[in-house]
Amino acid sequence: MAPLPASFLEQLQGREELIVSSREGSIEGSVPMWFAVAPDGKVLLFTSAFSVKARRWRSDPWVRLTLPGTAMAVEGAVHAVSAEDVGTLAPLVIERWADWGVTHVEGLRRMLRAGTHTLFRVEA
């Protein structure tokens, strides 16, 4: 999979949230979410593994990311990042979601292994 368009990634600078859409059949839902941008041009989303969006993404990886207050959006696919594959992404997740209890790499890996939270990367 490819990185998201550079023009979209540039617009993310200085923003706190995205509107993230998921779908289940003909039903589509959208929610504001915090995000982080990985150096390879992919967006990271971290959420409860029991959320509706996480459940939807496990059966249909389609996602739409929209900049709040604009019509600028991109579609892509989400892929779960395993505890073993978190590697260089861990510092980004720790910095962004420390308030959620992600305070060190091993803690993040435990959350992912236990299945309480899921880290997704969004690719074009």
Strands (E), 5-99: 17-24, 27-34, 36-37, 43-48, 62-66, 73-81
User: What residues does 37 pair with on adjacent strands?
Assistant: 43
Q: Residue 50 in 3-state DSSP? A: coil
Q: Model-level pTM?
A: 0.94
pLDDT in tens, 82-118: 999 999 999 999 999 998 888 899 999 999 999 999 9
pLDDT on residue 74 = 97
The 10 Å Cβ neighbour count of residue 31 is 14
Number of continuous H segments (helices) and E segments (strands) in the chain: 4, 7
The residue type of 28 is: E
Q: Higher-confidence residue: 52 or 101?
A: 52
